[in-house]
Amino acid sequence: MKKINLEKVQEQLNYYIGEPAYLHLETTNGAYATHHNREAFNVGAFIRNTQITFNQAKISGDASNYRVGLKTEQGWVYAEGLREYHINEQAQLLLAGHDLQGRLLVTIELSKHPFDN
Amino acid sequence: MAHKHVVVIFPHPDDEAFGAAGTIARFRAQGVPVTYLCGTLGEMGRNMGNPTFANRETLPQIRQEELVKACQVLDINLEQLGYRDKTLEFEPKRDVAKHLYSFLEKIKPTLVISYYPGYAVHPDHDAFGAAAIAAVELIEPSQRPEVWALAIKKDKEKDLGEPQIYYKITDTFEKKYQAIVAHKSQAAGILGGINQGPDQLDAIVKNKLSTETFYRWEF
Ligand SMILES: [Zn+2]
């Protein structure tokens, strides 16, 4: 993945506006947070291959913390802490944030077709 | 007792390497066949290599290749059960147990190694360990294999006492190390920089990886 280029990502988000898209949204601090530090809590959530249609999409922020907001007819989808992006061979848009050891903290992904598995 | 066939039941690629590779290598050195029933592909792992070379969508294929490589290093058979990472605790335990049983029925192991339910930290570990024990319980008592359960929870000894099976794995450490580094996307994050010279590796070996212990499961 490469460092987020705001214009490029915005262009990609625009491409998904107004038509059903598949969403993967996830945040995690790992299954061992409490194991390694008794005062930490395991926290995480993911949703995969949910179809959504949004009529507004924007990336905001700077290199230290980009946010993405997708406005749907009835509500919102939100992610923060994004710093890297990648468009894969299936033309899916992947946005993610990692910690200093390269571990995933947050990711939001969009695709015109369902994500594999 | 000399074992005829050992079945290892863990949910994630790399569980076998970190938890039991030394013991597995020991059995292989004695010529005992070992089959690994691996539950998932660790698709939801958060280690993406360090520096990162995987992403959420490429991770499954990368971990598939790493798993095959680790099994080649350890010279063991691999069977993959096709569940999804992080979801095992939500599958009906009885269904997973029957699935595992279908392999045990064919392989007829004399020893099964899995996680100690409730003492294995990750919900997938606990759920798969519980299903493994339920699978063995489907076998008629006189035919049942021995079960060794791996507990990794801190202070497990307070509840469970000292583990009955204890291996110092100095003889097979090299195999274990190679099995761990075969899981390249995970090893760097977990070992915290394996290329930082022999001192660090020695320290990791001494502190974390030089022994493997298991509890003998009583039915
Ligand atoms: Zn695991």
What's the number of domains chain B is made of?
Answer: 1
pLDDT value for A95 = 98
By C-alpha distance, the chain A residue nearest B83 is A117
Best CA proximity match to B95, nearest among B128, B73, B62: B128
The confidence score (pLDDT) of residue B173 equals: 87
pLDDT higher for B199 or B97?
B97
B61 touches chain A (CB under 8 A): no
Residues of chain A with C-beta less than 8 angstroms from the C-beta of B57: 88, 90, 92, 94, 109, 115-116
DSSP category for residue A92: -
Least confident of A3-17, A75-89, B124-138, B186-200: B186-200
Q: Is residue B35 part of a domain?
A: yes
Alpha helix (H) residue ranges in chain A: 6-16, 33-36
| A108: nearest Cα among A57, A42, A64 | A57
Question: Where do the domains of chain A lie?
Answer: 2-108
Residues in chain B: 219
- pLDDT of residue B198 exceeding 80, the answer is no
Calpha distance A111→B191 (Å, rounded): 34
Q: Across residues A104-109, what is the average pLDDT?
A: 97
Q: Provide the strand spans (E) within chain A.
A: 2-3, 21-28, 44-52, 54-62, 65-72, 76-82, 84-87, 93-98, 104-111
Ligand 1 centroid, distance to B93 Cα (angstroms) = 18
CB within 8 Å: A102 and B58:
no
Residue of B nearest to A47 (CA): B44
Residue B56 lies in a domain: yes
Q: What is the pLDDT of residues B144-160, one digit of tens each?
A: 999 999 999 999 999 99
Q: Which residues contact A38 (CB under 8 A, 6 or more apart)?
A: none
Confidence of residue B207 (pLDDT cuts 50, 70, 90): low
Q: Which CATH number fits domain A2-108: 2.70.180.10, 3.30.70.360, 1.10.1740.10, 1.20.1300.10?
A: 2.70.180.10
Asked if the C-beta of A106 comes within 8 angstroms of chain B's C-beta atoms, the answer is no
Which residues lie below 8 Å from residue B121, measured CB to CB, with a gap of 6+? A31, A32, A35, B152, B153
Distance A60 CA to ligand 1 centre (A): 36
> For residue B199, is pLDDT > 60?
no
pLDDT at A83: 98
Is B199 among the domain residues? Answer: yes
Between B169 and B166, where is the model more confident? B166
Give the model's pLDDT for residue A36: 79
Specify the pTM.
0.94
Q: What is the spatial distance between Cα B187 and Cα B179, in angstroms, rounded to a whole number?
A: 10
Residue range A47-58, pLDDT digits in tens: 999 999 999 999
Q: Which domain holds residue B31?
A: 6-216
Higher pLDDT, B7 or B50: B7
In the predicted structure, residue A70 carries a pLDDT above the cut 90: yes
Average pLDDT, whole number, for chain A?
Answer: 95
- pLDDT for the residue numbered B38: 98
Q: Is A37 on the interface with B (CB under 8 A)?
A: no
Q: Do B46 and A28 touch (CB under 8 A)?
A: yes
pLDDT digits (tens, 9 = 90+) for B28-43: 999 999 999 999 999 9
Q: Is the pLDDT of residue B138 over 60?
A: yes
> Does a structural domain hold residue B1?
no
The residue in chain A having the minimum alpha-carbon distance to the alpha carbon of residue B87 is A46
The answer to whether residue A80 scores a pLDDT higher than 80 is: yes
Helix (H) or strand (E) holding A117: none
Grouping H, G, I as helix, E, B as strand and the rest as coil, residue A85 is: strand
Q: Which residues contact B5 (CB under 8 A, 6 or more apart)?
A: B32, B33, B34, B35, B107, B108, B109, B110, B111
The reported pLDDT for the residue numbered B200 is 65
Q: What gap in Å lies between CA B169 and CA B177, rounded to an integer?
A: 11
Mean pLDDT of chain B: 93
- pLDDT of the residue at B22: 95
pLDDT of residue B47: 94
Provide the CATH number for the domain around residue B212.
3.40.50.10320
Nearest Cα of chain B lies from the Cα of A56 at a distance, in angstroms, of 25
Structure tokens at A4: 């987020």
In angstroms, rounded to a whole number, what is the distance separating the alpha carbons of residues B3 and B27? 8
Q: Tens digit of pLDDT for each residue in B69-82? A: 999 999 999 999 99
Residue B181's φ and ψ, nearest 5 degrees, are: -75, -15
- Look at residue B45 and tell me if it is in a domain: yes
Residues 6+ apart with CB under 8 A from B163: B151, B213, B214, B215
Helix axes B173-182, B184-191, angle to 10 degrees: 110
Confirm whether B40 is domain-assigned.
yes
| Res B5: pLDDT | 98
Residue predicted with more confidence, B187 or B94:
B94
Q: Decide if pLDDT at B195 tops 60.
A: no
**Contact between chains at A116 and B123 (C-beta distance less than 8 A):** no
